Amino acid sequence: MTHVLTALAWPYANGPRHIGHVAGFGVPADVFARYMRMRGHDVLMVSGTDEHGTPILVQADSEGLTAAEAAAKYNRIIVEDLDALGLSYDLFTRTTTGNHYKTVQELFSTLYGNGYILQKKTLGAISPSTGRTLPDRYIEGTCPHCGFDSARGDQCDNCGRQLDPTDLIDPKSRINGETPKFVEEDHFFLDLPAFADALNAWLDTRTGWRTNVLRFTKNLLDEMHPRPISRDLDWGVPIPLEGWIDRPDKRLYVWFDAVIGYLSATIEWARRSGDPDAWKRWWQDPEAVSYYFMGKDNIVFHSEIWPAMLLGANGEGANGGEPGPLGKLNLPTEVVSSEFLTMEGKQFSSSRRVVIYVRDFLERYSPDALRYYICAAGPENQDSDFTWAEFLRRNNDELVAGWGNLVNRSIAMAAKNFGAVPEPGELEEVDRELLATTKAAFDTVGDLIGANKVRAGIGEAMKAVAAANKYLADTAPWKMKEDPKRQGTVLYTVLQAVSDLKTVMSPFLPHSSQRVHELLGGEGVFAPMPFIEEVADLDEGQGATDGPYPILTGDYSDVPKWESVPLVPGTVLEKPTPVFTKLEPSIVDEEIERLNA
For Zn ion, the binding residues (CB under 5 A) are 143, 145-146, 148, 156, 158-159
CB 147 → Zn ion: shortest distance, Å?
A: 7
Nearer residue to Zn ion within complex by CB, 161 or 281 = 161
Residue 146, marked binder: yes
DSSP state of 165: G
- Is the distance from CB of 566 to CB of 506 less than 8 angstroms? no
Closest CA to 379 of 85, 29, 23, 87: 23
- Is the distance from CB of 366 to CB of 511 less than 8 angstroms? yes
Residue 351, marked binder: no
Nearer residue to Zn ion within complex by CB, 150 or 176 = 150
CB 161 → Zn ion: shortest distance, Å?
A: 5
Q: Alpha helix locations (H) across 192-253?
A: 196-204, 211-221
Nearer residue to Zn ion within complex by CB, 145 or 486 = 145
CB 533 → Zn ion: shortest distance, Å?
A: 41
CB 151 → Zn ion: shortest distance, Å?
A: 5
Concatenated DSSP letters for 99-117? Answer: HHHHHHHHHHHHHHHTT-E
Q: How far apart are CA 460 and CA 431, in angstroms?
A: 20
**Type of residue at 160:** G
- Phi and psi, residue 126, nearest 5°: -125, 155
Nearer residue to Zn ion within complex by CB, 159 or 169 = 159
**Type of residue at 452:** N
- Is the distance from CB of 136 to CB of 152 less than 8 angstroms? yes
CB 158 → Zn ion: shortest distance, Å?
A: 5
CB 267 → Zn ion: shortest distance, Å?
A: 37
CB 159 → Zn ion: shortest distance, Å?
A: 3
Q: Which residues contact 592 (CB under 8 A, 6 or more apart)?
A: 344, 388
Length of the chain: 597
Closest CA to 42 of 3, 5, 6, 88: 3
CB 160 → Zn ion: shortest distance, Å?
A: 7
CB 20 → Zn ion: shortest distance, Å?
A: 21
Q: How far apart are CA 250 and CA 407, in angstroms?
A: 59
Q: How far apart are CA 233 and CA 373, in angstroms?
A: 41
**Type of residue at 235:** W
Q: How far apart are CA 456 and CA 339, in angstroms?
A: 16
Nearer residue to Zn ion within complex by CB, 33 or 143 = 143
- Phi and psi, residue 145, nearest 5°: -90, -45
Q: In 3-state terms, what secondary structure has residue 142? A: strand
Residue 156, marked binder: yes
Relative orientation angle of helices 98-113 and 306-313, to the nearest 10 degrees = 70
For the chain, first and last CA: distance in Å? 52
Q: In 3-state terms, what secondary structure has residue 307? A: helix
CB 155 → Zn ion: shortest distance, Å?
A: 8
Q: How far apart are CA 306 and CA 424, in angstroms?
A: 57
Across 485-513, b (16+ Cβ under 10 Å) vs e yields ebbbbbbbbbbbbbbbbbbbbbbbbbbbb
- Is the distance from CB of 82 to CB of 94 less than 8 angstroms? no
Nearer residue to Zn ion within complex by CB, 143 or 495 = 143
Nearer residue to Zn ion within complex by CB, 158 or 387 = 158
Known binding-site residue numbers for ATP: 350
Binding site, by residue number, is 143, 146, 156, 159, 350
Q: Which residues are annotated as a binding site for Zn(2+)?
A: 143, 146, 156, 159
